[in-house]
Chains A and B, each alone.
Chain A
Amino acid sequence: MGTLSLKGIRTSYGDVKAVDGIDLDVSDGEFFVILGPSGAGKTTTLKSIAGLVEIDEGTVEIAGRDMTGVEPYHRNVAMAFESYALYPQRTVEQNLASPLRSGRTGEYAADERRRRIDLVTTTLGINHLLARFPRELSNGQRQRTALGRVLVRPADIYLLDEPLSHLDAKLRASMRAELKQIAQTSSTTTVYVTHDYQEALALGDRVAVLRAGRFVQVGTPEEVWRSPVDTFVARSMGQPEMNLLDGVVEDGEVRFAGGAGRFPVPRDLDLTAGQKVRLGLRPSELEVDRGHRSGEDWLRVPGRVVLAERLGRQVELDILVGDDHLIVVEDSDHAPAEGEQVTVQVHLPNVHVFAAGGEGEHTARIGSATGRVAAAMPEEAR
């Protein structure tokens, strides 16, 4: 049973707190993703689980057994590092065989070794490369081989540290799909660390968003996407980032963009007259009004297109509304030209209301323009 339980983990390097109180329960077979920017403590969290750094406080329980203080060797976890470490003078097959020869997870007869290597290399699509040396592989193939070295060994938990970060964008997308396929067939508990939100959404059964050594929010990809607990979580998911606009409550309305945008104060949000708020609007959920939407629950704002930038099939529009810039992503078939006057619209449930704050400040989510959304509790308050 590959369960993992962390309680009150703190890890520091000198005066720097890298991990600052993490509690986590990962169930058997779960694919758990930790998402965060560089320096947030992602790798240190993994190393704390693996026993590769000494933790200051807390307990690590793996498969129901207390592993705090146990040597990494005996924790029965397999970890892949960001920089793929392969023996340059050994073939792919020999590289994959070495974790099975080390004896730390039991002895393998030659045919059992071959069977495991065959299984893993077939899944990873590198079984035709067994006789090659690392220098004869492409980056993607090398990455797969490095991953194979982890997966070939039976372990209670796989720990994967940004395994796709060295690949170019296109290969990363196809490797992500392959990883997902592997995860579907393997039932081994996995903790996966990344700074790429698409990997988190695509792969994670659950996602934890990490900031400064603490989990800010833990939930399913959908929960974290739809109900981010604060502006930090909101902006860590989605490219381009969520727009944040200052708003103020006046005459029973929330007004923004110098009054150009307005909607009625949602009844169950405790907003008082004169209160300042921040509104969060995802570029992909904003659209240019072409008269194709009906219904009351749409917020509409007039503006002017300042920039239209082609991004593949989509166009990223920079639209000036009042004094604010809104980034809007539209399909290229419907995109207006630069200089055009347009009306931007968004479905009211997709208007996030956050507490007021300055630039660079992270403020909590109050609800949406249609009211409070239940069950979006900040992790720290639990």
Chain B
Amino acid sequence: MTTATTTATTVTATEPQALTLNAVRKTYASRGRESFEAVKGLDMDIKPGELISLLGPSGCGKTTTLRMIAGLETVTSGDILIGDTRINDLPPGKRNVGVGFESYALYPPLDVRENLAYGLKARKVAGADQQVAEIARRLEMEELLPLRPASLSSGQKQRVALARALVRKPPVLLLDEPLGHLDASARQRVRRELKLLQREFGYTTIVVTHDQLEALSLSDRMAVMDKGVIQQFGTPDEIFDDPANQFVADFVGEPSINLFPGVVRRVDGQVTVRVGDATVVPAVVDAPDSAKVVVGLRPQDCVVAGSDRPGAPADGAGLRGEVVVFEDLLEHGLATVRVPGLEDTLVVQTAAEETYRPGDEIHFSAPPARVYLFDADTGDRIR
């Protein structure tokens, strides 16, 4: 438990602040209905200046968490601290957090420039106009400045909401799906700019997203959530390369990881996995013989026989199957492969210079460190 909690009535810091969540819960209980636990005891230590994503499917509790930090939802139990100030009971306006919610209303009679400058001018910040101009330039929205909110598209509103949150330079910045409505190419540029601005000004930032690529590319660390619980909290590298369980492995990564059943064979301490009539070799040491597992193999990690990349199958090992569909995406190919004994087809990413036709045989495996095993019952990672 925290010791140095103060009970200030407002957060006044202007420097980026640490943000701490201790056993935070949110239960919705309405009369006559079963109560629903949206967030089930969240612990997070976020360092000053860190950019954190909350990633998960809809209903996982990510937005509820963000709204509790913003003060838009009450906290059922647990503590939320900015620096060492407990903010649970502070009204939203006293928390000194910047909020970039899409639904966050703009003042309709003011144009975008005035909307952006409003908060700065209210606090008599010097050079407000220049700051607004600069942020508008960085987010590629200068042409929006003279427009009224009513004439903006959803993607434009989103950019304005983001700009308004950023221009205040708050010590803690909360963003809810900040890039969702932008088209693919604008999303990439704005994402990059957001990250650069975040680095520059050092806002402690929490981004809620359901887009795994966005979370991977933006975050210093990311929390993958499901059913109100953090499934894994780590750097993008850890999340992608070392998933804690089957949910994380499946949710993160595109095309999706191949997941299929296998049975552990343990001979002289060496662990291999039987998949139908074939064998794959994981870098796992701690699996009992005959254990039923789910094997996870990312399409991007598959290496076909004869390739000079590490992980090509040795004789007698690896999976063999028949190509059902081959998609040539020029930068690489994607083969959909039917492997005897497996119910679902697998997807294998192939090198740009290789082409396959339906009916071709393909023989592949992956580097042992990239053959993931999960407990068939719990979904937990076996290492």
Residue in A closest to B298 when the chains form the complex, CB atoms: A313
Q: Which residues from B are CB-within-8-Å of A174?
A: 255-256, 347
Determine whether B81 belongs to the interface, using a CB cutoff of 8 Å to chain A: no
**Of B195, B211, B347, which one neighbours A307 at CB under 8 angstroms?**
B195
Q: Which residue of A lies closest to B324 (CB)?
A: A181
Contacts of B347 in A (CB 8 A): 174, 177
Query: Taking CB as reference atom, which chain B residue is nearest A318?
Result: B192
Q: Are A202 and B358 in contact (CB under 8 A)?
A: no
Q: Mark A166-189, 1 if CB is under 8 A from B, else 0.
A: 000110011011101100100000
CA distance A180 to B334 in the complex (A): 12
- A27: B residues at CB distance < 8 A: none
Contacts A181-B336, A332-B237 given; indicate if A312 touches B331 (C-beta within 8 A): no
Q: Give the residue name and chain of the A residue nearest to B237 (CB).
A: A310
- Residues 233 to 277 of chain B near chain A (Cβ within 8 Å): 236-237, 240-241, 252-256
Residues of B close to A309: CB separation below 8 A: 192, 195, 216-218
Mark contacts of A139-170 with chain B using CB atoms, 8 A cut-off: 1 yes-contact digit, 0 otherwise. Answer: 00000000000000000000000000000011
Question: Is B254's CB under 8 angstroms from A180's CB?
Answer: no
Contact between chains at B254 and A170 (CB < 8 Å) = yes
Q: How far is the CB of A36 from chain B (nearest CB, A)?
A: 12
Bound: A203/B329 CA distance, A: 9
The segment from A2-10, A236-244, A362-370 that touches chain B is A236-244
- Min Cβ gap A258→B in Å is 21
B151 interfacial by beta-carbon distance below 8 Å: no
Q: Given A311-B216, A313-B300, A173 and B330 touching (CB < 8 A)?
A: no
- The interface residues of chain A lying within 8 Å CB-to-CB of B327 are 176-177, 180, 201-203
For residues 307 through 321 of chain A, which have their beta carbon under 8 Å from a beta carbon of chain B? 307, 309-314, 316, 318
- Is A310 touching B298 in the complex (CB atoms < 8 A)? no
> A284 an interface residue at 8 Å Cβ cutoff?
yes
Q: A311-B217, A312-B300, A313-B301 are in contact. Are A239 and B330 (CB under 8 A)?
A: no
| A221 beta carbon closer than 8 Å to chain B | yes
Closest partner residue, chain B, to A285 (CB atom): B331
Q: From residue 237 to 263 of chain A, which have CB atoms closer than 8 A to chain B?
A: 238-241
**A201 contacts B217, C-beta separation under 8 Å:** no
CB distance from B341 to the nearest CB of A (A): 19
A331 to B38, CA, bound (A): 38
Q: Which of B218, B254, B300 has the most CB of A within 10 A?
A: B254
| B196 pairs with A201, CB closer than 8 A | no
Judge whether A84 is part of the interface by a CB distance below 8 angstroms.
Answer: no
State which of B188, B218, B336 has its C-beta within 8 Å of the C-beta of A177: B336
A222 interfacial contact with B, CB 8 Å = yes
A360 to chain B, nearest CB (A): 11
Q: Mark A17-42, 1 if CB is under 8 A from B, else 0.
A: 00000000000000000000110000
Residues of A within 8 A of B44 (CB): none
Report A89-142 residues with CB < 8 Å from chain B CB: none
Most chain A CB within 10 A, of B188, B216, B217, B331, is at B331
Q: Are A198 and B329 in contact (CB under 8 A)?
A: yes
A241 to chain B, nearest CB (A): 6
Task: Check if B141 is an interface residue, CB within 8 A of chain A.
Answer: no
A313–B218 CA distance with the chains assembled, in angstroms: 15
The 8 Å CB contact of A222, one of B211, B253, B330, B336, is B330
Q: Could you tell me the distance between the alpha carbons of A180 and B185 in the complex, rounded to whole angstroms? A: 26
Contact of B254 among A37, A222, A235, A312 (CB under 8 A): A312
Contacts of B216 in A (CB 8 A): 309-312
Enumerate chain B residues within 8 angstroms of A176, measured Cβ to Cβ: 327
User: Nearest A residue to B218 by beta-carbon distance?
Assistant: A309
Q: Is the CB of B254 within 8 A of A177?
A: no
Name which residue of chain A comes closest to B236, CB basis: A310
Complex Cα gap A312–B213 (Å): 7
Pairwise interchain contact A307-B196, C-beta atoms closer than 8 A: yes
Chain B residue nearest to A173 (CB atoms) is B255
Q: Which residues of B contact A169 (CB under 8 A)?
A: 211, 213, 254
Query: Is A298 interfacial (CB 8 A cutoff)?
Result: no
Which residues from B are CB-within-8-Å of A221?
328, 330
Shortest CB-to-CB span from A199 to chain B, Å, is 9
Does B325 interact with chain A (Cβ within 8 Å)?
yes
Q: Which residues of A contact B336 (CB under 8 A)?
A: 177, 181
For B210, the closest partner residue in chain A by CB is A168
Q: Which residue of B lies closest to A308 (CB)?
A: B217
Q: Are A201 and B330 in contact (CB under 8 A)?
A: yes
Report chain A residues within 8 Å CB of B4. Answer: none
Partner of B240, one of A177, A184, A235, A313: A313
Contacting residues, chain A, for B358 (C-beta < 8 A): 184
CA–CA, A184 and B188, complex, Å:
34
B1 proximal to A (CB < 8 A): no
Q: What residue of chain A has the Cβ atom nearest to residue B256's Cβ?
A: A170
Q: List the B side residues contacting A318 at CB < 8 Å.
A: 192
- Interface 1/0 per residue, B160-193 and A, CB below 8 Å: 0000000000000000000000011100100010
Q: Decide if A225 is an interface residue (CB 8 Å cutoff).
A: yes
Q: Contact partner of B325 among A180, A201, A222, A240, CB < 8 A? A: A180
Cα A67 to Cα B331 in complex, Å, equals 40
Contact across chains for A284 and B217 when beta carbons are under 8 A apart: no
C-alpha gap A176/B325 in the complex (Å): 10
CA distance A188 to B381 in the complex (A): 46
Q: In whole angstroms, how far apart are the Cα atoms of A38 and B236 in the complex? A: 33
B residues 350-365 in Cβ contact with A at 8 Å: 358
Question: From residue A373, how far is it (CB to closest CB) to chain B in Å?
Answer: 16
23 contacts between A and B (CB under 8 A): A38-B183, A169-B211, A169-B254, A170-B255, A174-B255, A177-B327, A177-B347, A180-B325, A181-B325, A181-B336, A225-B330, A241-B185, A309-B217, A309-B218, A310-B216, A310-B236, A310-B237, A311-B213, A313-B253, A313-B298, A316-B217, A318-B192, A332-B241
Residues in chain A within 8 A of chain B (CB atoms): 37-38, 169-170, 173-174, 176-178, 180-181, 184, 198, 201-203, 221-222, 225, 235, 238-241, 284, 306-307, 309-314, 316, 318, 332
15 more contacts with CB within 8 A, not counting A201-B330, A307-B196, A316-B217, are A170-B255, A173-B256, A174-B347, A181-B336, A198-B329, A203-B327, A235-B185, A284-B331, A307-B195, A309-B216, A309-B218, A312-B240, A313-B240, A314-B300, A318-B192
The 5 closest A-B pairs by CB, nearest first: A202-B327, A309-B217, A313-B300, A310-B236, A284-B331
